[in-house]
Amino acid sequence: MYLIDNLHIFIDDFKSYVVIVPPKPIPMEVKENEFTNGEITVTYEPKKCMHADICAQGLSEVFRTSVIPWINLDAADSEKIMAQIEKCPSKALRFSRSTTEVLSV
């Protein structure tokens, strides 16, 4: 048997066979949902979400369940958003403060 890239070549006394073997699939990179307003970045992991709806009950203008994109960080103060995210029971919502400094000239 000979192996050339994705071809397996079998040779016996009377016949030759060529078998094409597909390459191994490359796993697709899954990106988390990220939203930012310049002050904070909110990350949503849908596989963790329990759909308790606590986020939307507390800040429905930010966490909108019937609109895409469903997170609108411009609809409330960053401090309120962070406080509401901390109430997420599944931790599907997380936040980080932006590290960009604004320099005055």
pLDDT at 8: 58
* CATH value of 33-97 in 3.90.950.10, 3.40.50.2300, 3.40.50.300, 3.30.70.20: 3.30.70.20
Q: Is the pLDDT of residue 79 over 70?
A: yes
Q: Which of 3-7, 55-59, 91-95 has the lowest mean pLDDT?
A: 3-7
Long-range contacts, stretch 71-78, CB < 8 angstroms, 24+ apart: 71/33, 71/35, 71/42, 71/44, 73/35, 73/36, 73/37, 73/40, 73/42, 74/37, 78/37, 78/39, 78/40
Structure tokens at 2: 């000979």
pLDDT digit string, tens, across residues 10-27: 566 666 666 666 666 655
pLDDT digit string, tens, across residues 31-76: 458 999 989 999 999 999 999 999 999 999 999 988 888 899 999 9
Q: Where are the domains of the chain?
A: 33-97
DSSP 92: -
pLDDT at 31: 45
Query: CA-to-CA distance for 71 and 49, rounded, in angstroms?
Result: 14
pLDDT at 39: 93
Query: CA-to-CA distance for 42 and 94, rounded, in angstroms?
Result: 6
